[in-house]
Chain A
Amino acid sequence: MPRREIIEEAERVLQLCSACMYCDAYCAVFPAIAGKATFPIADVAHIANLCHGCRGCWYACQYAPPHPFAVNLPQALAAARRLSCAEVARPRWLASGFARNGFTVAAVVGGVTVLALAAVLLTVPYDTLFAVHRGAGAFYRVVPWGVMSAVAGLSFLWAVAAISASTLAFWRSIAPKTSRKAMRRALGPALRAVVTLENLGGDGHGCNDVGERLSDEKRIAHHVLVAGFGLTIVSTLSAAVWHHVAGARAPYAVVSLPVLAGLVGGVLMLLGTAGLAAIEARADRAPADPTEVRLNRVFLALLALVSASGLAVLALRETMLMGITLTLHLGLVTGFFLVLPASKMVHAPYRAAALWRAALDRIASPPRRSGGE
């Protein structure tokens, strides 16, 4: 659908929703549109990223098709969200990465991984590559420490820089005029919404993850995935501390913070991605935006590949396959960071920004109350 049609459809539906407001218990979107008769583009971008895709409003909607008003708020907002992701992407050419996400991700991650494998196969003698290495510095006998940390570190820095620039551009597009004091006051409620995913819980009765029945599956799976992701960060950071401060060189003992955090984190990530993928597979397509579904699937596949290859390194690190597995993991991680700014990952900072703005709006002007018949 062309850009103008996406925006117009979001405006049309939001206007109808604002006149109805029956769904105000579900999430932060409805208090954010309360009392508003029109929706400028910046508001559409804000509201679209505020939507967590719980679909409560779709199943509750008295105006859903076949009603002539044909209201499909989750789909309209998902399309607008996709548009806003592309428009605030920095550097700007990243926008095209969202458009053909599956292809971009496959090309970049696949390319980097194949390149890494080729480089190792060409430069490392086979009797080193396929030898069993044990003890401190075992990994670096295959991939030198300098190469490993440069490749991983630079790709990570790229991801952080690009996502930060994009998020800043997004924030600028939705930022209200406000004081620093209000910003601080709004931070607490916004952070709580980010951490608890309260907008996926509806009224404490769960949300419509896959269909008409309410459940907490999506929220729980997402929590598990984020916890796992967090633990892999702990693993990486603690390994850096072990290396630079304690002077201990990887691989580390199984009972050590880097390995345990990585192991538990990797397993949780696999469980979380499996849970979310299962929801995506079973979910009713009617309230979904097909492009967003693809974005979700590509990102889940990527997360699963990275965590599975990490676990494989741990499992095979004392075998002759360590070298190849390590290279594979390194290639996938590097590719992962390279495509991260053009992946579903950006939903995290954008949604946090949208929640912050929503909390600010609630402080600045509490929404107009609306009643029933």
Chain B
Amino acid sequence: MSLETVTRVDVLVAGGAVAGLCAAIAARRRGVSVRLVEAAPREMRGGNTRHARNFRIAHDGPARYVPDGYREDEFLADLLRVTEGDTDEPLARCLIRGSAGIAPWLADNGVVLQALDRGVLPYSRRTAFLAGGGKAMINALYATAESLGVSVSYEAELTSLRFGPYGCTAEIVRAGAPECVNSKAVVVATGGHQADLRRLRTDFGEAGDRMVVRGTPYATGHGIDLLVDAGAMPVGDPRSAHLVAVDARGPRFDGGIVTRITGIPYGIVVDRTGRRLADERADMRRTHYAQWGPRIAACPGAIAYLILDQDGLRRTSPTALSPVTAPTLAELARRLEIDPAALDATVQDFNRAATEREPATRPIKIAPLAAWPLLPGLTFTHFGVAVDLRMHVVLRNGRPIENVFIAGTAMAANVLRRGYLAGLGVTLAAVSGRIAGEEAARAAA
């Protein structure tokens, strides 16, 4: 016999990152009672939004926080380009339209958008920047939600979900104690499944064991699993992931932006046998990051090394952890545990070719040499649950569930089944969260 507590609320929101917070605030502003359950403890709340910096918005003209304009059709064209057309276009249009109003809505809910004249922002007409980044936004949204009367529970995980025409019954486990929450509608915003290490092993093989999860350890995909088990239609491919090169010495989880290694076009990348993986200068655009994750994942031991000389070091952006340095290539090889003879041959080959192409390509020669060990860093996977235009969860038979909604990364694969677009994740999460919250309030009314 279970002694679990039974509570009742109009709308239950599972997941306390930007999607869940927008859903909770939007629903509460429509007058219904809202309970938000977040799996992380308070200090680590906010999912991958903690690591966000900017978000993509359609806008007709300049504002305090974004210059020039970025029309909805330009936004859609960018999305179609990176996904190679593999997107739910009506849904994409709906969310892009929503992005046009999301910045002022967030600002009204306490989020501080960085003014263009503050700090050292790069020019970006496509994205608005969050002053202080994603955690500052999370703090502001929690404060707003709580002041509106949203009830928030931390370290509370959604463990089961049943739904029917008369309401939903969810079980949440809070500090080990189960609680039964009866609600009229549920919004699932529990993120992707990229922090489920067992599944990474299944989906990516041995490389999965070496993958660094760049975001929260709480994105275990439990919300997606519950919905799929209950008959929801999965979308996307769990084996398709956004992988970038990260510093192997960083933490397994939550390394975020600072362990990403961006200096690859200024040096060479070799695996532990001393062999180069690809032409480091073939793509100098910012999008080159996402090509290197899969390359490193395919290396023996899923590890590689970026090697720079002093000239390359000068060109690269600051990194969180200092590189390994050595006065000679042989010594560097010894420190990195790479075969010195093989590395020497690789560098000599590279330098011979580079000398012919100077100054476009510079040889690696100015000591001391510097190196970063690299692992594949997983940002998110292109996998989730199907939704309709009102963020209802869609069943395998194509029918929407009238009182269960999904928002954020758990639905992002409806529009982003491959590729990457800077600042898209937060936008999809905020817009889908806001819509899901409003629709959930309507369903609960």
What residues of chain A have their CB less than 8 Å away from a CB belonging to chain B? 15-16, 18-26, 30-31, 34-38, 56-57, 59-69, 202-205, 212-214, 367-373
Contacts and interface: CB of A to CB of B under 8 A. Distances in A.
Interface in B292-321: 313, 317-321
Contacts of B422: 372-373
Contact of B120 (A16, A30, A65, A213): A30
Nearest to B133: A22
A60 B322 CA distance: 24
Interface residues of B, number: 44
10 contacts: A15-B318, A21-B119, A25-B118, A60-B132, A61-B135, A63-B258, A371-B53, A371-B124, A372-B257, A373-B257
Interface centre among B52, B120, B121, B256 (most CB of A within 10 A): B120
Interface of B: 43-44, 50-54, 112, 114-115, 118-124, 127, 129-136, 139, 143, 251, 254, 256-258, 286, 313, 317-322, 379, 422-423
Given A60-B132, A60-B136, 20 more contacts: A16-B258, A16-B320, A20-B256, A25-B132, A26-B131, A26-B132, A31-B120, A35-B318, A36-B318, A37-B313, A57-B132, A60-B133, A60-B135, A202-B112, A205-B112, A205-B131, A370-B120, A370-B122, A370-B317, A372-B257
**A-B CB proximity, top 3 nearest:** A24-B119, A22-B133, A60-B132
A66 B318 contact: no
B132 A56 contact: yes
B291 to A, nearest CB: 15
Contacts of B129: 25, 372
DSSP class of B's interface residues: helix, strand, loop or mixed? Answer: loop
B53 A373 contact: yes
Contact of A15 (B50, B136, B322, B379): B322
B51 A62 contact: yes
Contacts of B124: 371-372
A19 B127 contact: no
Given A19-B320, A25-B131, A373-B53, A63 B256 contact: yes
Contacts of A371: 53-54, 121-122, 124, 286
Contacts of B52: 372-373
Contact of B119 (A31, A35, A373): A31
Contacts of A213: 143
A37 B318 contact: yes
A9 to B, nearest CB: 14
A367 B122 CA distance: 11
B251 A69 contact: yes
Nearest to B379: A373
B256 A24 contact: no
A35 B129 CA distance: 19
Contacts of A23: 132-133
